[in-house]
A and B are shown apart, each in its own frame.
Chain A
Amino acid sequence: MRFLEPIWLLTGTGICIPLLIHWWKSRQGAVTLVGTIRFLPKATANQASRHRLTEWLLLAVRCAMILLAAVWLAGPVWQKEKSDKRVKGWVLVPREGIGRNRIAIDSLIHQGFRLHAWEKAFPEIEMGDTAGTAQHRYDHFTLLDAIERRAPAGMPLVLFTPDNVQGFSGPKPKVNRPVDWRLYHDQQPKELASAARLPRKIWLYRDSEKFLRQDQHLAAAIRSLQYYFKDSVQLIHVNDPGRVRPDSNSVLFWLSTRPLPAMTSTGLILQADTTQQSAGRIIWQSASGNDILWQPDPAKNIHRLSVAEDGAGGIASLDDLPERLYWLFQPGSEQQRLTRLEDRIDPSALVDFPSGKKNNATPTQMIHAALPVDSWMTGLLILLFVMERWLRWRKTKT
């Protein structure tokens, strides 16, 4: 048996109180030596024996109650040890996150990891065990602190957690084991799709080979959106400015150094920019901090798209271009997307953990199956309390 909060075991010293009371009462009731007690009625002697027995029972029950309460407060965990040399570590994932990380988890399990649910009791689960997959609010640092004490010493952990920053509150606990913490987006694409509104037509104008690469990137991203949402969005490639006729429900990508032709009615316009001089509202930025998409005039729906060739400042550097395009196409939802991005945990916030480090310590080869002891201990505590009350009543009655 191990304890999650062993400091509470100190409350067990509280048994001094009933012991002192018992000793004091015994001392007060001094023994008087008499010539003989044979003339006392038999009932008195029997009653006295019962009385003394009840006193001792009461003392024992009270001490047991205090000790049990101390153990209960210390958070006992009964661990059944079984030898299993194949276990290389624990994979911890919220039940609702199994589907999102199925491939990675499956791979880890094949390597010898054991799958555990990322919840208070850390039960061992199977891949298909997604019962209770409702969205929970997690406090990952608290759970990490608990798993640090519950998991076998040195056992490597692989954590899969959503990247919502709300789940990372409080101080970061110290861990003495390898922890590979992997974040994933918990937004469900299908849920977004139900409210998705893609433009009916997407015009892609390019008049030179200069922007071929950007053209390919954008076309691929748009096709992926088409495929994913099974939407009948129409992608129209043109190289003649005269044929470009966007309407209010369409998007125009202007990959050209030519100035935009005058258009009476148009939707969203993304114009290639080679100056690298952003102005106005910045919408997209690359990982290196370069501005990729910006809106020079908020009153107009013309955006400037950086088409730098170096790979670091252009759209080619964006791994999540389809998703960004998706959010850009949603009317009025760009700010929401940005907010979502800000709400995500920065993986660098988790660098304190020895993630990916080689574990020098030999991890234990024992599996500790945690068994819940709270319920029967609470029951025992209640039973002892009832017994104590009954003995007290019996003593008072006699």
Chain B
Amino acid sequence: MQFPTPEILLSLGNIGLAAKMMVDPYLSGINKSRVRGQGQEFSQYRSYQPGDDLRWMDWKMYARSDRYYVRESEMDTSIRIRILIDASASMAYLEGGIRKIDYAKLLAAAMGYLAYRQGDALGLMVLHQDNWESLPVRNDARHLSRFFYQLEQLQTGGLFLSNRFFPQLRSGVPGKEMLLFITDLYQANNETLELLHSLAASKHEVIVFHLMGSRELDMNFGSAATLQDWETAERTDNIQDGDRAQAKENLAHYIGNIRKQLLEKGITYCQLKMDQPLNEGILEFLQQRQKSFI
């Protein structure tokens, strides 16, 4: 299956349409939730297993066949999904004509649309340095339009959200939710990890989508003479060939360390490269969503 590249999707200029183009191939032939449980619509009979709720025993079948059967039906699978986007200045990093924040918007739009089509409630939280924009978790068609609009208006700037706002932010995420956190994981004082740990500790299911550029991972910034940090505005000369291996090792060590810490806290880590189609991210979302019902 050929997935449209991020460049093509961004050239559409309509994030909703781009989301449909990304998600519809996954939904062809699937119109309903496959999760079975105690819903309104009959699905099948299965043999009674010890531990099954006796209320769902089909006594008529027992009368006819003298065997215990449990009646199953399609279950309402609506879950609360909230997408968190890191809108710090470093998300404006440009590589191959695409900014990280644009890639993040596409990914968020795709996952939001997929969630809507699956009947999930959807919310959005954009994290700035001193505040955050929040779209409450809801499940209706108009809400999806608001979600897309909010994504299109998204701007980057400043550092990551200061940790003094974390308690307030946590209180704005009631109940158990699936939190999809799109970030580049660049942090000044470990605040991103701190937030993720606190959210995971609040029994939320957290998935981190770590956006990186290929050149960024290779520490190869072309022929530029000077490199400037998006967030600190600090400048330095472009990295020399002799120093590249050391820089790559530093980055790999940083990412490996973060990944380890996330996994220890039960947080799913998924690294996405900006020059690749977004399907990897969507598949990861689907897998994790499926797991959440098992």
Contacts and interface: CB of A to CB of B under 8 A. Distances in A.
A48 B222 CA distance: 17
Nearest to B90: A35
A37 interface: yes
A43 B237 CA distance: 11
B254 A48 contact: no
Given A39-B219, A40-B243, A41-B243, A32 B238 contact: yes
Given A31-B235, A47-B237, A48-B237, A36 B186 contact: yes
Interface of B is mostly: mixed
Contacts of A33: 92-94, 227-230
Contacts of B231: 35-36
A197 interface: no
A34 B216 contact: yes
Contacts of A47: 237
A39 B251 contact: yes
Given A35-B184, A44-B239, A47-B237, A29 B250 contact: no
Given A29-B225, A51-B237, A34 B243 contact: no
B89 to A, nearest CB: 9
Interface string B2-22: 000000000000000000000
Interface in B78-93: 90, 92-93
B243 A44 contact: yes
B159 to A, nearest CB: 11
Interface size range on B against A: 20 to 34
Interface in B99-149: 100
Residue from B219, B225, B230, B238 whose CB has the most chain A CB atoms within 10 Å: B225
Contacts of B216: 34-35
A45 interface: yes
Given A32-B238, A51-B237, A37 B243 contact: no
Contacts of A43: 243
Contact of A40 (B90, B93, B222, B239): B239
B224 interface: yes
A158 B90 CA distance: 80
B171 interface: no
Given A32-B222, A34-B229, A44-B247, 14 more contacts: A28-B225, A30-B224, A31-B225, A31-B226, A33-B94, A33-B228, A34-B216, A34-B227, A35-B90, A35-B93, A37-B236, A40-B243, A47-B237, A48-B235
Interface of B: 90, 92-94, 100, 184, 186, 216, 219, 221-222, 224-231, 234-240, 243, 246-247, 250-251, 254
Task: List 9 A-B pairs, minimum CB-CB distance, nearest first.
Answer: A29-B225, A48-B237, A32-B224, A35-B90, A39-B250, A48-B236, A35-B93, A31-B226, A39-B251
